[in-house]
Amino acid sequence: MKVLKFGGTSVGTIESLTNVKNIVDNLDEPAIVVVSALGGLTDRLISTANDAANGTEEFRQDMISIRKRHYDIINALVRKNLRDEITQKVNTLLDELENRYQGLSLIKTLPESTLAEIVSFGERISSIIIAGILDNAEHHDSTEFIKTEKWFSKNITDRSLTDRLIKDEFKLPLKKTCVAGGFISKDKNTGEITNLGRGGSDYTAALIAAALDADTLEIWTDVDGFLTADPRIIPSAQLIPKMSFVESMELCSFGAKVIYPPTIYPVFHKNIPIKILNTFNPKAPGTLITDFAVRKGNIRGISSLGKSSLIRIEGPLTSNVPEINSRAYNAMARSGLNIYLVSPPSDTTSFSMAVPTEGLTNALENLRIEFAPELDNEEILKIDGKDSLSVLAIVGEGIRQLTGLGSRLLDTLRCASIQVLAQSDAASETTLAFVINDKDVKESLRLIHYACFGV
Ligand code: ADP
Ligand code: ASP
Ligand code: MG
């Protein structure tokens, strides 16, 4: 049994949905199909919510076009015998959505829980419509089996509960194609609608695939597969026919948007292969991600992650500070921030970490509290952060063994007068990372892609 996920790029228009129908209706056996909201709709739902909460009347116009977009698809593609029933279900949801906007325009604030409910309408509606478009298909409500719980300020999935509920929901072997909305979930304690984060439909599909021990997880999107770089920045990027789970995890964590990073863990643990396929070119072979031994020492791809900052802890005696690494990591964990990379001191006087800019202020506060004694006795002179940076990653299993790769790529950037503010330590066998200014990202990617792949 396969799980197929079609992203917003694949379910945005009548034409792309016709491709989805051809792909799914021609499968040899029933599958589970996870779908996103219509392309671009989640952004639209959010901006309309902001308009309504700001007290402007524009949301009424937006609602008219949101309704029309859905009705046009229903009228063009839903099977005739289901059209009235589906129009009615969708209408009920659209009315509810309009009521939420109406409410916001009165209270003039946008509570987080209301926004979560508003964005959920995208997948709640698209999944009902797509179940009506596909042959012999039934709709499943993902909020009934994808369950989250609060962890500090975040919603995280309760994996064991979710696994159990997925197994109860989908009885194998499947008799019909099952269609479920991606991204959406419910809090297991409060029953409030939550979600898995932007781009999270991939993760829904992975949770289902892992719980049911699917044969494959197919991510259908608008490119021929995982490419050596983001094709919007590097048009000459090449298809990667095969890659390891670890390589895909690293590239996605460092900004390759093609898969939402948490997606890879559940299927990796079950050793379920992922295929990246193109809805607009379904015969193309795509990319196969498995744990087979890829040839080590090959650069697989490059990516970049914006909205990054660099924290520097500086002082003449920094290297003497007891347990500076673990204390800095703990302070970052208390701030709820990931660390993208840690840079070894170029001399003994500084220690730097690249982190997401969001939450930087809070992280600096926590670090200053943690190292208050050392700041006091001047072992550390300052702890500060620089924003508007990006992390550039070069990924491939075993690339650390490529002697001189790091210095060759650094030279490439320096020759073009591109400043490298920090580089990763030698901890990762798979990833080399540089911190650069945002303004240099495109040119750096272009130069590094050429240096690595010759195009
Ligand atoms: P979907 O709506 O199908 O989830 P996304 O927009 O989330 O699609 O992801 C697909 C997009 O990811 C592609 O259109 C491409 O522009 C972008 N992308 C970024 N990096 C890569 C890469 N290395 N390989 C392929 N696509 C990439
Ligand atoms: N619709 C959601 C988003 O745009 C989830 C997804 O597409 O994966 O982020
Ligand atoms: Mg996506």
Statement: residue 71 has pLDDT above 70: yes
pLDDT of residue 216: 98
CB-based contacts of 307: which residues, under 8 Å, 6+ apart? 356, 357, 358
Q: Please give the model's pTM, rounded to 2 decimal places.
A: 0.95
> Which residues are registered as beta bridge partners of 181?
35
Is the pLDDT reported for residue 209 higher than 90?
yes
Q: Is the pLDDT of residue 344 over 80?
A: no
Q: Mean per-residue pLDDT for 138-152?
A: 96
Closest ligand to C-alpha of residue 182 is: 2
Mutate to test the pocket of ligand 1, among 4, 224, 248, 257 (most ligand atoms within 8 A of CB): 257
Mean pLDDT of 56-82: 96
What pLDDT is recorded for position 31?
98
Q: With the C-alpha atoms ordered 423, 266, 206, 143, is the resulting torsion angle positive or negative?
A: negative
**So what's the pLDDT on residue 153?**
77
Distance 404 CA to ligand 1 centre (A): 31
Token pair 């589906």 is found at: 86
How far, in Å, is the centroid of ligand 3 from the Cα of 77? Answer: 24
227 lines ligand 1 (CB under 6 A): yes
Q: What is the pLDDT of residue 347?
A: 64
Average pLDDT, rounded, for the chain: 95
Least confident of 162-166, 181-185, 293-297: 293-297
Cα(95) to centroid(ligand 2), Å: 22
What pLDDT score does 351 carry? 85
Question: Which residues make Cβ contacts (< 8 Å) with residue 408, sequence separation at least 6?
Answer: 451
Whether 121 lines ligand 2, by a CB cut-off of 6 Å, is no
Give the ligand whose atoms come closest to the C-alpha of residue 197: 2
Q: How far apart are CA 140 and CA 131, in angstroms?
A: 9
Distance from the alpha carbon of residue 123 to the mean position of ligand 2, in angstroms: 8
Over residues 22-41, the mean pLDDT reads: 98
Q: Whose CA is nearest to atom 8 of ligand 2?
A: 199
Atom of ligand 1 nearest to the CA of 201: 4
Query: Rounded to the nearest whole angstrom, what is the distance from the C-alpha of residue 219 to the centroid of ligand 2?
Result: 13
Ligand with minimal distance to 258 CA: 1
How much helix, strand and coil, in percent to the nearest 5, is found in the chain?
45, 25, 35
* Residue 25 CA neighbour count, 13 Å, CB half: 13
How far does the centroid of ligand 2 lie from the alpha carbon of residue 168, in Å? 25
Closest ligand (CA of 42): 2
Instruction: Please name the residue whose Cα sits nearest to atom 9 of ligand 1.
Output: 258
Q: Report which of 341, 303, 312, 346 is spatially closest to residue 428, judged by C-alpha positions.
A: 341
- The model's confidence at residue 155, banded by pLDDT at 50, 70 and 90, is very high
Q: How far apart are CA 31 and CA 34, in angstroms?
A: 10
| Contact present, 39 and 126 (Cβ < 8 Å) | no
pLDDT score recorded for residue 432? 94
Whole-Å CA distances, 389 to 83, 306, 385, 428, 435: 50, 6, 11, 21, 7
What's the CA gap between 323 and 351, in Å, rounded? 12
Q: How many Å lie between the centroid of ligand 3 and the Cα of residue 208?
A: 17
Q: Is the pLDDT of residue 348 over 80?
A: no
Is residue 401 very low, low, confident or very high in pLDDT (cuts 50, 70, 90)? confident
Q: Which of 201, 204, 222 to mutate to test the pocket of ligand 2 (most atoms within 8 A of CB)?
A: 201
Confidence grade of residue 81 (pLDDT, cut at 50, 70, 90): very high
- Given the CA of residue 225, which atom of ligand 1 is nearest to it? 25
Res. 85 pLDDT band, cuts 50 70 90:
very high
Which ligand 1 atom is nearest residue 240's CA? 24
Q: Whose CA is nearest to atom 21 of ligand 1?
A: 230
The CA 59 to ligand 3 mean position distance, Å, reads 26
Summarised one tens digit per residue, pLDDT across range 441-454 is: 999 999 999 999 99
232 lines ligand 1 (CB under 6 A): yes
Q: What is the number of the ligand closest to the CA of 198?
A: 2
pLDDT at site 414: 95
Average pLDDT over residues 118-126: 98
Does ligand 1 lie within 6 Å of residue 261's CB atom?
no
Burial class (CB within 10 angstroms; exposed 0-12, middle 13-18, buried 19+) of 221: buried
> Is the pLDDT at 412 greater than 70, yes or no?
yes
Asked if pLDDT for residue 23 goes beyond 70, the answer is yes
Ligand 2 within 6 A of CB of 24: no
The residue type found at 432 is L
